[in-house]
Each structure stands twice: as C-alpha cells, then as structure tokens.
C-alpha cells in the first residue's frame, strides 16, 4: 500500500497495474533504457494538448539514491556509496532541477518531496541548495509542503533540526515495525525505541506534520500482534499514517528467504484481516482514510502525494526519478513520462555533460493519460469527480464512459463502486478490492476511447468529403 512511487500503492494491485502507481516517493522499477533525449512515441499518440490549467504548475520529487545497507525487502533504486558523494550529488541535483524546470516552464512548484534511498543521510545543505534553485526559477510559497523521508536512526534524528532549518516542514519516518525482532530480520538499522524517539523529536519540530510508514503482512506477524503494534503506534504518532502491505519483490533477500522456505509470510486472508482491522482502528482514533494506504487527521493529508493521485504534473530529479509533465520549453503540447538514469555515477556524468540525466521519454497517448488518471484517482476515497475527469477528458464524461457498462453495473449492485452526481469512487468495501475493480474500469475505458476515436475519424472523413464536394461545386 505505498509511494513510492513513490512508494504508494503497493498493496492490492496486480503487478501489471502497479506500473501506474510508481509513486513519486518511489522512482519505481527500473525501466528499460531508451535513447536519452528523444521521446519514444507509443502507437496511438493522439496529440490532445494538455489544458493550461495543468501545465502551469507541478510538484517536485528529489531522489537521494544512497543507503547505508540494503533492507531485505526493498527493491527501490538505492546504492551503498563507496565514498562521500554529497558535494557532486548536490551540484547535479541543482543542475537537473534547473534544466527540468526550464524544460517544463512551470511557474509554480506546489510541493517538494525528498525521497530515497535514504535522504536523511544527505547533508542538510542539500535541501537548502535544491530549494534555492527552485526559488530562482519558479515560485514556491512559504506554505508549500516540503517533506523529507527519514530513517529513524540516531544519526537521522540528530539532523532533524538542521533539516528543518534548511526548509523541511514535514517529516515522513520509516518506522516499518515496532517489533525489534522484525526490524532485525528486515535488515533495518534502528530499534523500535529509536523510532519512537525520532517521532517525538520530529513532532517537536513540525507539530502536526509528521507521518509514519509502517508495513504489515510481515513474516511471523499475526493479526493479534499487529493490533498490539498499532495501539503502540497510535499512542506515539502524529497526524498522518501510511500503512503498506509488505510486497515480496523479486531479487530481494526476503524473496529468496521465502522461496527457500526459511520464512513464511502470513496467509492472504490474515493479511486482508490486518488491513481491515487497521482501517477500523485508525478510524476509531479519528484518522480519515483518504487513500488506499494513507490516513490523516486534522486535514494533514500529504499534499504532495495527493498531487500524484489527482493526475497533476510532477518533475522528478535524481537517479531513477520519474516525472510527468509537458515539455513546453521545447514546444511540446502533450504530457511525457520521463525516467532519469538509474545508476548514480552514470547519472552524475550525464548531468555534468548535458544538464540532465533523462534516460527515457515517452509521450503519453490520450488513452494512457486517462488510464493513469483513472488508476491514480480511484486510489483516493473521494475517487474522481466529474470536473476533475473533464480536465483530462473534455470529450467524454464519466457517465458516458462507464455508465452503460455491464461490469460497472455489477460492481455498483454489489456495493463496491459508486457512479453518481459526485463522480466515480469505491465504497469502503470496494477500496479493499481495488485490484479487482480496476481491470473492469480499464477495459471499459479502452473500449469507449477507441469507439470515440473511430467515430471521430469517421466524422473527419465525412467532413473532408463534404469540403471536397463544396470546392468542386464552387
């Protein structure tokens, strides 16, 4: 259930759909490198220009690729540094931020998220330097959310004040578990006590703006032990909680351990029960669920992650970062998906040579853009309202696309999906089954968009034939 993208949305989604959920926070899975610089166009690129309302602003994701060690479950883009690369990394992050801001021509950055890897390993001046670069080229209001992911080690905790002074006003703390045995077997380098102390210090500095990441569905975990852990967490946490279902990622140590039978993850039903109980418990404690994995009270939702789920533009800088924006600076009119080079040393070389390390650019077809808007939007409890959908699909509304579908009607009748005056959204029960709902919606979307396309082509043809006839007779 996480962001990553960045990290978000790890839960419940089939691997095929997860590609849409590359969280911001998460630079996603390594994409196959394409030729840097020139956009690859998938078949069916219909150049539907993006609305100016969408292109003037963006959020910024900054990836710090280094970690001190590899946690057993993690397949994020991270490297163990051989030496201290901070100065060159900071220089390159600034250069790339400048280059991509110019390319996008956005005038307003709405939020900034420093994710990783372990960005709390960076020198606090890295934060100030990137923010300075943003201020020089675009507006970033004093109120804008600036989040830093923190590993709750003593070192991480000791730097919080300096990070705060450098401009961070929200901390996202990777607690993962409050069981010391589990932390050890997951390869974490902190104890539960250190995690609790880090939360306390972060809350002192940024009251109301501290989030915690916790994973459930861990080997050895039971519904009962999870409930105990949640109560402990609720006693310590601030106003935001992210709960991610532990995903077994190929190539990780944990994946191998499970394959060899050395550890056993809980049964699917037990994991589903953990999710169910956690949603209930958090609600009882005043937390509103606003997304599959995210809960907030007192309006403390993550503005940055909301911007992904609402299909807004984002710029991703740093090794392996992802972005979605229209390159207005070079005359582009269509949104592109961009991925930066994964490997830090190669990325550094590219940034020094040509100002950015973009490895892959794909112009998003109209259908792909709508698929992303749908998959991301349905993760939110509020779903997608009509106005929001029209921004991306002025030609066909939600009722037109989904209203007549048999599959959608069945989901409405079973009480999992709602399509009404507010828009399209999952019910409480439906959100836990998003993985099975999305394929139905995606199939319908594709069907309707291609029908519209054929109808549009037919109309064009008829019009051009009419024009030809007029000319002849004239």
Ligand X SMILES: C[S@@+](CC[C@H](N)C(=O)[O-])C[C@H]1O[C@@H](n2cnc3c(N)ncnc32)[C@H](O)[C@@H]1O
- DSSP tag of 238: -
Q: Which of 59, 198, 247, 302 binds ligand X (CB under 6 A)?
A: 247
Which residues, including other chains, have CB under 8 Å from residue 255's CB and lie 6 or more apart? 248, 249
**61, 244, 275, 314: which one binds ligand X (CB under 6 A):** 244
Nearer to ligand SF4, 115 or 311 (CB): 115
Number of residues that bind ligand X (CB under 6 A): 19
- Does 78 sit near ligand SF4 (CB under 6 A)? yes
Q: Does 10 bind ligand X (CB under 6 A)?
A: yes
From start to end of 70-137, where are the E strands?
A: 108-116
Q: Can you tell me which of 39, 117, 357, 430 binds ligand SF4, judged by CB under 6 A?
A: 117
Among 94, 104, 111, 151, binds ligand X (CB under 6 A): 151
Q: Cβ(6)–Cβ(19) under 8 Å?
A: no
Cα(94)–Cα(159) distance, rounded to whole angstroms?
21
Can you say how many angstroms the Cα of residue 20 is from the centroid of all Cα atoms in its chain?
A: 9
Q: Which is nearer to ligand SF4, 174 or 219 (CB)?
A: 174
Instruction: State the nearest-atom distance from the C-beta of 27 to ligand X, in Å.
Output: 9
Binding mask 293-322 for ligand X (x = CB under 6 A): ------------------------------
Give the HSE-up count for residue 106: Cα atoms under 13 Å, Cβ half-sphere: 30
Structure tokens, 133:
């670069």
3-class DSSP state for residue 102? helix
Q: How many CB atoms lie within 10 A of CB 220?
A: 13
* 118 touching ligand SF4, by CB under 6 A: yes
Phi, psi (rounded to 5 degrees) for 367: -65, -45
Nearer to ligand X, 98 or 249 (CB): 249
Closer by beta carbon to ligand X, 21 or else 384: 21
**Separation in Å, CA 141 to CA 145, 315, 431:** 9, 17, 34
Say how far apart CA 273 and CA 377 lie, in whole Å: 25
Query: Within 135-194, which residues bind ligand SF4 (CB under 6 A)?
Result: 151, 174
Question: Interior CA angle at 436 toward 432 and 441, to 5°?
Answer: 115
Q: How far is the CB of 4 from ligand X (least distance, A)?
A: 6
From its phi and psi, is residue 62 left (phi > 0), alpha (psi between -120 and 50) or beta?
A: beta
Among 67-75, 86-94, 97-105, 312-320, which window interacts with ligand SF4 (CB under 6 A)?
Answer: 67-75
Task: Pick the binder of ligand SF4 from 4, 50, 60, 67 (CB under 6 A).
Answer: 67
- Nearest to ligand X of 116, 357 (CB atom): 116
Using rule CB under 6 A, residue 74 touches ligand SF4: yes
Please, which residue, 63 or 361, has the CB nearer to ligand SF4? 63
* 413-432: contacts with ligand X (CB under 6 A): none
Torsional sign, CA 189, 305, 374, 331: negative
10 Å CB burial of residue 93 (0-12, 13-18, 19+) is buried
**CB-nearer residue toward ligand SF4: 24 or 174:** 174
Binding partner of 304, given ligand SF4, ligand X, none, CB within 5-8 angstroms per partner class: none
Among ligand X, ligand SF4, none, residue 70 binds (CB under 5-8 Å by kind)? ligand SF4
Q: Residue 159 binds which entry of ligand SF4, ligand X, none, with Cβ cut-offs from 5 to 8 Å by kind?
A: none
Q: Helix axis angle, 268-284 relative to 223-236, nearest 10°?
A: 30
- The Cα 244–Cα 247 span in angstroms is 8
- Outline where 285-403 has alpha helix (H): 303-309, 344-354, 366-377, 386-392, 398-402
Token pair 């909680």: residue: 241
With CB under 5 to 8 Å by kind, the binding choice for 249 among ligand SF4, ligand X, none is ligand X
How many residues form the binding site for ligand SF4 (CB under 6 A)?
A: 11
- Tokens for 435, please give them: 């993985």
Distance CA 203, CA 194 (A): 14
Of residues 111, 176, 393, 448, which one binds ligand X by CB under 6 A? 176
In the complex with ligand SF4, which residue's Cβ is closer, 77 or 104? Answer: 77
- Is 2 among the residues that bind ligand X (CB under 6 A)? yes
- Residue 5 engages ligand SF4 in binding (rule: CB under 6 A): no
**Residues in the site for ligand SF4, rule: CB under 6 A?**
67, 70-71, 74, 76, 78, 116-118, 151, 174
**Residues in the site for ligand X, rule: CB under 6 A?**
2, 4, 7, 10, 73-74, 76, 116, 118, 149, 151, 174, 176, 213, 215, 244, 246-247, 249
């Amino acid at each position: 259930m996480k962001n990553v993208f960045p990290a978000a949305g790890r839960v419940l989604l089939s691997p095929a759909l997860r590609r849409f959920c590359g969280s911001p926070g998460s630079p996603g899975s390594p994409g196959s490198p394409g030729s840097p610089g020139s956009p690859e166009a998938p078949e069916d690129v219909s150049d539907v220009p993006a609305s100016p309302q969408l292109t003037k602003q963006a959020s910024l994701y900054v990836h710090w690729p280094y970690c001190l060690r590899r946690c057993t479950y993690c397949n994020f883009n991270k490297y163990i540094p051989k030496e201290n690369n901070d100065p060159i990394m900071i220089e390159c992050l600034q250069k790339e931020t400048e280059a991509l801001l110019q390319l996008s021509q956005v005038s307003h950055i709405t939020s900034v998220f420093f994710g990783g890897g372990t960005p709390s390993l960076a020198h606090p001046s890295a934060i100030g330097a990137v923010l300075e670069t943003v201020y020089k080229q675009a507006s970033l209001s004093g109120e804008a959310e600036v989040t830093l992911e923190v590993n709750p080690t003593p070192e991480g905790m000791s730097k919080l004040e300096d990070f705060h002074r450098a401009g961070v006003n929200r901390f996202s703390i990777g607690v993962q578990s409050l069981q010391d045995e589990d932390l050890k077997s997951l390869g974490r380098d902190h104890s539960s006590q250190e995690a609790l102390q880090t939360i306390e210090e972060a809350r002192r500095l940024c009251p109301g703006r501290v989030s915690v990441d916790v994973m459930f569905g861990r080997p050895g975990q039971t519904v009962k032990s999870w409930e105990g852990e949640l109560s402990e967490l609720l006693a310590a946490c601030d106003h935001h909680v992210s709960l991610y279902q532990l995903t077994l990622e190929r190539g990780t140590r944990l994946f191998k351990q499970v394959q060899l039978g050395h550890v056993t993850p809980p049964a699917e039903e037990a994991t589903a029960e953990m999710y169910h109980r956690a949603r209930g418990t958090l609600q009882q404690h005043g937390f509103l669920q606003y997304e599959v994995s995210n809960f907030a009270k007192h309006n403390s939702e993550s503005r940055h992650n909301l911007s992904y789920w609402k299909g807004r533009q984002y710029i991703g800088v740093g090794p392996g970062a992802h972005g979605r924006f229209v390159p207005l600076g070079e005359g582009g009119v269509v949104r592109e998906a961009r991925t930066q080079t994964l490997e830090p040393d190669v990325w550094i070389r590219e940034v020094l040579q040509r100002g950015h390390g973009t490895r892959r650019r794909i112009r998003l077809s109209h259908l792909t853009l709508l698929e992303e808007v749908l998959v991301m939007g349905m993760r939110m409890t509020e779903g997608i309202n009509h106005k929001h959908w029209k921004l991306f699909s002025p030609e066909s509304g939600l009722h037109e696309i989904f209203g007549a579908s048999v599959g959608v009607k069945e989901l409405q009748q079973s009480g999992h999906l709602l399509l009404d005056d507010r828009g399209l959204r999952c019910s409480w029960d439906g959100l836990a089954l998003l993985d099975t709902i999305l394929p139905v919606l995606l199939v319908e979307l594709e069907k309707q968009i291609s029908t519209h396309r054929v109808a549009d082509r037919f109309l064009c043809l008829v019009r051009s034939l009419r024009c030809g006839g007029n000319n002849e007779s004239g």
